[in-house]
Structure 1
């Protein structure tokens, strides 16, 4: 019998048989991991299994390759804390949907785990989370092997004054390099390159940028449009929030 225990961020839940559920959790050392929760659809347990919840999980299986089963203890619920904050709740759903669909199964990604849990906590505390979510999407592209090249201009080689990104190549472009093609390029907000300040417009531009490359590079690898639909719903909610 194989057994391990860890803190896990609940990413998704789906019915399994008449009473059980299969859950996906993101753990620091085990990566994204699935397992069966016996009685997961019961009145007692189902309310505890909401995506975004932090759980203390124990996984058991006869051999490593089996689906295995989870037992769990709830540590904290996040969705319940965000019921009156539509934008934050939509963003929590998007984070769980994207991580659940995009991250490789059983591949330890401690930096991704730490970054994702920190973002989910920020959603609950209201700590500048729209910019942090844009940075999370930007980092996710890199984590999945689709990172953007923003260090220098693809045309001139310049390393300063890079206001654009090519929507085709994902490389930065200077004003000089853009020339008459500037209106066909995507704005590059400075905070994605390390600037401290991010205005509301910067966050909107960042989400437009990351959304473009998620659709171009990641969506074709997914089994359904559900994760990107959740992500686009979060972007719309954030844009409304920042426009008020």
Structure 2
């Protein structure tokens, strides 16, 4: 009888620990919608000079990725911007490109860093989120996010990498942004985004239903910016 009670208590303790871990991971995942890892005051309209620097950063990032000969495509907010207006949204100081882990992992990290350095760029990797952040050497805005996905053969879906995402069960797709491989089958079409020709996933907005599963249909403009526009009007 005592042994049975111990087993029950052990199972309850394990269940509580597992639940606590998943709550922590879920909170971290929700807080990482901005991959930069910290919250900033929203600037509703970045200056023309900032937009020019963002274009230059995007152009150099594309050159570095082309030098590595890896696949990449617009995703997340940048894909929305490309499909809606062929530009980055005015309140965002960054661009987002998605890469495949099976390709980028073929290179030593030092080689990747040197490739970007040749273009005058600094690249840093977040092992928790599976995201490279690309900046100029002064480290200020604007910046680029290179978000890494890998194919999971068990569920036949692409999913986010990073230790935080790997702790989540592979079928928890709303948390790790799974999407079907057909959406990135080659060849991919290209669109003009900020004056640069870049690949985009198939079926237009379809991938955004997986990347933003809870609000892909909503207006993206921050409430603070809407309020300022109403005041100015």
Is TM > 0.5 for Structure 1 vs Structure 2?
no
In the superposition, the TM-score normalised over structure 2's length comes to: 0.25
Structure with greater contact order relative to length (CA < 8 Å, sep ≥ 6): 2
- TM-score, normalised relative to structure 1: 0.24
